[in-house]
Amino acid sequence: MEQISWSDFEKVQLRVGTILEVLDFPEARKPAFKVKVDFGEFGIKWSSAQITKHYKMEELIGRQIVGVINFPKKQIGKFMSEFLITGFGDENGDIVLTQVERNVPNGSKLI
């Protein structure tokens, strides 16, 4: 495993946001949702998330997630993904969302 410096870690903007809206994404090659998240002072951003195995759209609304907000935008079909939702693969490789234990202000940075 390659080691990184503290300054490398500080460059990654891992921020908390609250899910506002979730839409189906039938055009995606792998099953996915379009997810709209409020990152406080960093604005409202959209992402594509392959989280359909463990989550239903309606149960995601209001949930706080952790996202990387300083990657370049990524074109996925006709959709522009503006950040990366973080998670861990389970025993089958299906994504389990990274979450905070207690609600914190939107836009808070992982430290």
* Tens-digit pLDDT profile for residues 51-99: 999 999 999 999 999 999 999 999 998 899 999 999 999 999 999 999 9
Q: What is the pTM of this model?
A: 0.94
Q: For position 41, which CATH number holds?
A: 2.40.50.140
* Total number of domains constituting the chain: 1
Asked if 88 and 98 touch (Cβ cutoff 8 Å), the reply is yes
Domain contains 40? yes
What is the number of residues in the chain? Answer: 111
For the CA atoms of 68, 71, 75, 78, what is the dihedral angle to 10 degrees?
A: 50
Q: Which domain holds residue 98?
A: 35-103
Residue 11 lies in a domain: no
- 99 lies in some domain: yes
Within a domain: 83:
yes
Is residue 19 a contact partner of residue 65, using CB atoms and an 8 Å limit?
yes
